Structure 1
Amino acid sequence: MASKKHPIVLRFEGMDPSDIGGYEAHRYRKGGDLGHIDREKPKPRLLIGTDTWAEETLAEIKLMKLETFAAELADLDRRKRRKEIEKRRIEGPRDPWRASRHGPMRELILTANKEWFEQTESSDVEFSTSKEDLFEERAVAWLQEHFGEDVIHARADLDEQAYHIHAVIMPRATAKKYGTECRVLQPSTHPLIKDYEAAQDSVGEWFSEIGLARGQRHKQAIRDALNDGRKPPASPRHVRPAAWRAKQERKLAEKEAALETRKREVVEREEQAEEIIAFGEAVATGAIDEHGQPAVPPQSENAASLTPARKSSLGFAIARRAYRMAMKRLRGKAEAEAERRARAKAAKEVAEIKAADDVIVEIAQQLPGSIRAKIAKVRRKLSAQIMQLDPTTKGRSGGPLSGSNDTR
């Protein structure tokens, strides 16, 4: 059964000569992103160049600048440009490359998925040496084949998650300036730097012999989509390992902070719940009143649990406010019920008085006139007093005993 085809990974990064110091600090594991380095593994191994390649490179670039500067001054002197000569002497040598956001040099990275390096099952390719050695041999050969002496440095990193190779390309070229050939740095002098797809084709073919495949043809996918009238796929955006790890660490820190916040909120809610329960128990046992004030000397142990700190807490305040609102509603209902009952009782009593009054009127009509007059006088006084008791006639003239019946 054929093994899974892993892609060969090739990536170019722009590089300026001023970046060489930081590059070397990281090579010696003295600077840069070191959080992912496994100190138990072997340190990076030099593959191409010398240990002093950085100093040699900077010295060569300085020499290029001076040579070009000398050629420029000589040309101005031949043309009798005295003022320009003085001005340029003050300004000094210029960089021997065209300014760009990528810089004049390239850092190159070659690797494959770590699963490929760890793969021990049978595959389409028979390996007599380790996969790292095999990968390294082909990588060095490919670099020298396509970049020659412009590969001024290459190293193998063995102490990270996956084996990979770093290389530095110094693209030397010449340009006709000031009447002579001047040495410059020109990335486009190398076809594989100029054409990224060509570089991917090249490594794909070169490493196919050891079981690796070319990476995804993204530009071709874009062209095919545009030709078919489809939306082209989004361009892959490479994130440097250091930036990716920093982003992951920020995400992890944010998650930990959010989790810690939630834990604090849960603890606070639990504390508030305990305070609310303690308040309720204290009120129920008569230790405190609805305002949270001590009642008559409490006989409950709950009073002792309500310390000054707890009484000033948020949970205590919530419970006290909720209890007071509940008591207010209960009192309102109780007062309304008491008033309803009082009105019903008064109405019943007034009805009984009315019934008795009707009997009195009936009897009085059979009595002599002088007696009826006395009874009528008494009834009018009673009417005024009883009217105040009748909840159905408050604020109206007349009374419970007023009517058409007259005892006169």
Structure 2
Amino acid sequence: MDGSNIKTDYPVVLRFEGLYPHQLGGYEAHRLRKGGDLGHVYRSRSGLNQRLIGSEDWAARALAEIDEMKIENFAAELASLEKRNRKKDIERRMLEGPKQPWRATRHGPMREVILTVNKDWFDADLAGFFGEGENQREKEFGEFAKEWLIENFGEDVIHARADRDEAAFHVHAVIMPRATVEIAKPNAKVPAASATRRMLQPSIHPLIKDYEAAQDSVGQWFADLGLVRGERRAEAIRQARQNGVTPPKRRYHAKTWKWRAEEEQRLLAEMKALAERTAWVEVREEEAETVLAVAEGVATGAFVAKASSEAPELEDGPPADPARPAGPGLEELRRRSPRGFARAASAFSRAWSRLFGDAQAEAEATARRGVSAALTEIAEADEKIAEAAMLLPKEKRPAIAAIRRTIPAILRRLERGVVRYPAGAKLTDQPPGGAAGEKSFND
């Protein structure tokens, strides 16, 4: 293998995700592998996951503390209003009740932290090769992550854990940014009117407030493990805007649960499209196979044209040669693919129509030519009979006249059965010469 293609610079990955207190229940259910999207989890390795910071009941403790903050803030606010003799405000606040201890924000008052590296970096560890049970890179990364979290967020890190049951080793942490703020300015006349309240305020932590500073921090902290800082994309965007050029696109980091949901929907859509395409291909294959089976049946004589039908139609042919294996019958082919059978029948019908039509037209043309010639010959013969009859004795002439009167009817029947009126032939109800000719026989 060419060693120049081996990646050596692996960036440490840091992500912050907004988090609301009411989401802690679902967060815990997923941590314990009792809920959420578990399709990407290797359940056989879940026992290797490790809690790094916080107690087992950290989520319940956090929610209880937030409720306590809410009640304490409410009591402190009412006390401040009472000292300032704000009776109407007291009545209003009593009706409103306690408020959540944070300002409205689209990200939420807490933060989830995710720290990891590309899976290949962890897989390159040689612990397994030397017979060591634990991946040393995972162990060292977890220790560095724990120290970085405590160094920068202190006691506001209420939970951290290392997950080993997913594609790549990673550390999850939850930051509960506690802050104390003033709710009423000191009053010279009523000094005791000043009060404070406890809040959740992410901006009190510089690394949450400044994302680029956080990336710099982890890049420096994990440098001893041979890792590097991630791409300076935000700086590149600012620089591009200053220079008046199109900036690179910002990376979109979807929340894990949201990404899983979107990925699931995408996979379902792809599976549905694949199923539809597969079904369509199967139908088309059935059609093609049916058309070929019909064609083969016609070629081998298993199917023949139905002579009794006005329109060309298929029917089973004479019994097949016992030495030749029998194929599917007409009804089976029609059930297998009605569309394919109809296409094949239509194609052969058109061929039969042309074949039978051409043969019939040729036969009729031949018949017309023959009848026309026969009529001409008969007319000529009749004229000769009339001429000859004039030479017969008078007692013989009536018999000849009776015979001649039957000739036009015979010719008309022949004409109707084959052609309308053959070219060059005109038939009359009376024999050539008519009554005059008959009368002339008797003269």
TM-score interval w.r.t. the shorter chain?
Answer: 0.7 to 0.9
CA contact (8 A) 1:346 1:389 kept: no
Q: 1:230 to 1:316 in 2, by over 3 A?
A: same
Deviation at 1:136, TM superposition (A): 1.3
Deviation at 1:241, TM superposition (A): 4.2
1:194 alignment counterpart:
209
2:346 alignment counterpart:
321
1:163 alignment counterpart:
169
The one of 247, 251, 276 equivalent to 2:294 is 276
Paired with 1:294 and 1:56, the residues of 2 have a C-alpha distance of 84
Deviation at 1:292, TM superposition (A): 3.0
CA contact (8 A) 1:288 1:294 kept: no
Whether 1:291 aligns to 2:313 is: yes
CA contact (8 A) 1:154 1:165 kept: yes
Q: 1:246 to 1:51 in 2, by over 3 A?
A: same
Identity of aligned residues (%): 46
Instruction: State the Cα deviation string for residues 108-136 of structure 1 (Å, max 9, x = none).
Output: 00000011111147xxxxxx981112111
Instruction: State the Cα deviation string for residues 186-215 of structure 1 (Å, max 9, x = none).
Output: 111111111111111111111112111111
Q: 1:261 to 1:304 in 2, by over 3 A?
A: closer
CA RMSD for the aligned pairs? 3.9
Q: Structure 1: where are the runs of 5+ without partners?
A: 122-127, 357-384, 395-408
* Number of residue pairs aligned between Structure 1 and Structure 2: 362
Trace 1:387-402 onto structure 2 (pairs within 5 A): 391=423
2:32 alignment counterpart:
28
Q: Secondary structure at the match of 2:254?
A: coil
CA contact (8 A) 1:105 1:187 kept: yes
Q: 1:294 to 1:270 in 2, by over 3 A?
A: closer
CA contact (8 A) 1:285 1:300 kept: no
The one of 18, 27, 32 equivalent to 1:14 is 18
2:149 alignment counterpart:
143
The one of 43, 46, 49 equivalent to 1:39 is 43
Q: Secondary structure at the match of 2:302?
A: helix
2:385 alignment counterpart:
none
Deviation at 1:285, TM superposition (A): 8.8
1:377 alignment counterpart:
none
The one of 205, 215, 224 equivalent to 2:230 is 215
Trace 1:246-265 onto structure 2 (pairs within 5 A): 246-247=264-265, 249-250=267-268, 253-254=271-272, 256-258=274-276, 260-262=278-280, 264-265=282-283
Paired with 1:230 and 1:348, the residues of 2 have a C-alpha distance of 96
Q: Secondary structure at the match of 2:150?
A: helix
TM-score normalised by L of structure 1: 0.76
Deviation at 1:51, TM superposition (A): 1.0
Deviation at 1:240, TM superposition (A): 3.7
Paired with 2:342 and 2:297, the residues of 1 have a C-alpha distance of 10
Trace 1:355-374 onto structure 2 (pairs within 5 A): none
Instruction: State the Cα deviation string for residues 35-73 of structure 1 (Å, max 9, x = none).
Output: 111122234211111112111111111111111100111
Q: Which moved more, 1:98-107 or 1:305-314?
A: 305-314
- Residue identity opposite 2:347 in structure 1: A
Whether 1:225 aligns to 2:240 is: yes
Instruction: State the Cα deviation string for residues 347-382 of structure 1 (Å, max 9, x = none).
Output: 9899999xx9xxxxxxxxxxxxxxxxxxxxxxxxxx
1:380 alignment counterpart:
none
Deviation at 1:310, TM superposition (A): 4.2
Paired with 2:139 and 2:21, the residues of 1 have a C-alpha distance of 30
Paired with 2:425 and 2:256, the residues of 1 have a C-alpha distance of 91
CA contact (8 A) 2:376 2:425 kept: no
1:104 alignment counterpart:
109
2:407 alignment counterpart:
none
CA contact (8 A) 1:9 1:110 kept: yes
1:114 alignment counterpart:
119
Q: Secondary structure at the match of 1:207?
A: helix
- Residue identity opposite 1:8 in structure 2: V
Deviation at 1:262, TM superposition (A): 4.4
Q: 1:58 to 1:241 in 2, by over 3 A?
A: closer
Q: 1:334 to 1:112 in 2, by over 3 A?
A: same
1:331 alignment counterpart:
356
1:376 alignment counterpart:
none
Q: Structure 2: where are the runs of 5+ without partners?
A: 127-133, 185-193, 381-410, 412-419, 427-443
CA contact (8 A) 1:279 1:319 kept: no
Paired with 2:117 and 2:269, the residues of 1 have a C-alpha distance of 27
Q: Secondary structure at the match of 1:176?
A: strand
Instruction: State the Cα deviation string for residues 292-339 of structure 1 (Å, max 9, x = none).
Output: 3568xx444799953645456614333333222222222333344445
CA contact (8 A) 1:174 1:184 kept: yes
Paired with 1:392 and 1:226, the residues of 2 have a C-alpha distance of 98
Paired with 1:393 and 1:241, the residues of 2 have a C-alpha distance of 97
Paired with 1:192 and 1:39, the residues of 2 have a C-alpha distance of 34
Q: 1:9 to 1:304 in 2, by over 3 A?
A: closer
Q: Secondary structure at the match of 2:303?
A: helix
Paired with 1:311 and 1:158, the residues of 2 have a C-alpha distance of 58
Paired with 1:305 and 1:155, the residues of 2 have a C-alpha distance of 66
